[in-house]
Amino acid sequence: MRRLRIADWTALFLGLLTFGVIVAVLAQNFLGIE
Amino acid sequence: MKKPPARLLRVLFASVLLVGALAYGRTRSAPDLITPVEEIFPGSQRIEFQRGIHYVYGGAGALMGWAGAEEANGYGGPMLLVVGVDTLGQVAGVRVVQQRETPVFWRMVRAPEYLRAISGSRFDSIDYEYQSVVAVTGATISGDAIVESVRSSVARVAEVAFDVQLPLPPKPFEFGFLELTILVLFAVGIVGHRLRGPIRRRLRWAGQLVGLLVLGFWENSPITLAKITAFLTGYLPDPRTGLAIYLLLGGFLLTSIFYGRNLYCLYACPFGAAQRVVGAIGGFRLKLPPWVVRLMEGARNVVVFAALFMAFITLQPALASYEPFAALFALHGTTLQWFLLFIVLTGSLLIQTPWCNFFCPMRTFELVVLDTKRWWQGSRKGSPGPVKKASKAWTGARDQKGGSEQ
């Protein structure tokens, strides 16, 4: 596995952040939280 | 018959769990109509259901009025309102018994305001076209469903209790600008798919920009997980008024099967177009290591499964939607949805169409269709076709070879 570059870290961070927000959106939908 | 590949087995396992969730959702009790009827007629002692309506009796058995409850098609599923009419023929009250709309859109139509506005009217002179529900851009399906449910409930009470036939407005088959645009976009996609080089590239840009304007900003009707979930739960929208989604899903499915790549995503999807426009401004093209790609794709499939599972158990298809489409195209969303839109569009500056590649549920469905097709073909020919690894699929390598990407 090659070493991660800053670009990779950025992409990974954005990806995980997006997934976090998606999960939060779903939780908001189903739990009816504002 | 050949054994299906591991990924397809996982799909099969997920499907079994989803069918279980749906079965559980369906066995849950039918909506309670008695409580809302009692709320509309305070002091009611007895409620009898006869000839399709509720007869409401008060003290000493005196008839207080009637209540009708007829279903209509909403955006996320059936919508049911109960309308009470007193013995003088006035609307005594209206209650929402069941609705499965997306919370943001449900708030947009301001149902309580509408229901208050029609209360007190005589049953044969109700002004249904009250602006809070009928003039809401982007939430027309929800608004129309409220009106339709109230209208048919009133019509039922009028017919049974007052022996009056109230004409319901005819529902003609609607084939308009949106439906025509969808057909044209798929036609452009089919032509583009057969071509190579700059012409294909231009056709794809043209298709997507039209998609962005018409399916996006104008009509706000991209394919969403909510719409697919609605189909999967067995709730089919009325094709007379909701033909667009049949065309979109039909096109998605057929082009996936016949062309090996669904042409909806490539030529019509407004959100894909929005990301490409932003990407063209950014100009960066970060390439991610394959293990990151696999990780994100796996996470997406899990998220899609979880969303479907929850929607099936609660029988609320609209809640499965996690896409930030409405925030962009209807300018309505919760803070989180706006934030999601912001991250995805910012990410588009650095990574090529990140939503399409890593987060969009359509990609999961496309892979399921393609895997199934490949397995089916392989088992008929006796050799299993090579199952494309997820990590190789994401960049749309075929398109790059053909010069379709930019």
Q: Is the CB of B351 less than 8 angstroms away from the CB of A11?
A: yes
pLDDT tops 90 at residue B108:
no
Predicted pLDDT at B110: 80
- Domain membership flag for residue B1: no
Residue B72 contacts residue B141 (beta carbons within 8 Å):
no
Contact of B336 with chain A, judged by CB distance below 8 Å, is answered with yes
Q: Per-residue pLDDT tens for A1-34?
A: 556 677 778 788 889 999 999 999 999 988 876 5
pLDDT tops 70 at residue B385:
no
For A22, nearest residue in chain B (alpha carbons):
B322
- Domain membership flag for residue B239: yes
Q: Per-residue pLDDT tens for B117-165?
A: 889 999 988 888 766 666 666 677 888 888 899 999 999 999 999 999 9
Is the domain of B317 the same as that of B357? yes
Predicted pLDDT at B134: 60
Residue to mutate among A9, A12, A16, A18, with most B CBs inside 10 A, is A18
Give how far B322 is from chain A: nearest CA, Å. 6
- Domain membership flag for residue B226: yes
Q: Per-residue pLDDT tens for B15-60?
A: 999 999 999 888 875 788 899 999 999 999 999 999 999 999 998 8
Packed helices B225-232 and B361-381: angle between N→C axes, nearest 10 degrees: 50
Residue B145, amino acid = A
Half-sphere exposure of B184 (CA within 13 A, CB side): 15
pLDDT tops 60 at residue B375:
yes
By Cβ distance, the residue of A12, A25, A30 closest to B340 is A25
Residue B77: pLDDT band with limits 50, 70, 90? confident
Q: What is the ipTM of this complex?
A: 0.89
- The C-alpha torsion from B356 through B358 and B364 to B367, rounded to 10°, is 80
Contact of B303 with chain A, judged by CB distance below 8 Å, is answered with yes
Is the domain of B140 the same as that of B180? no
Is the domain of B117 the same as that of B179? no
Containing structural domain, residue B107: 32-161
Give how far B79 is from chain A: nearest CA, Å. 18
- Rounded to two decimals, the pTM is 0.80
Last residue of a domain, one of B161, B185, B210: B161
Q: Is the CB of A24 less than 8 angstroms away from the CB of B336?
A: yes
User: B53: which strand partners?
Assistant: B50
Contact of B331 with chain A, judged by CB distance below 8 Å, is answered with no
Please give the residue that has the higher pLDDT: either B26 or B366: B366
- Domain membership flag for residue B166: no
For chains A and B, count residue pairs whose Cβ atoms are closer than 8 Å.
Answer: 79
Predicted pLDDT at B101: 84
Contact of B21 with chain A, judged by CB distance below 8 Å, is answered with no
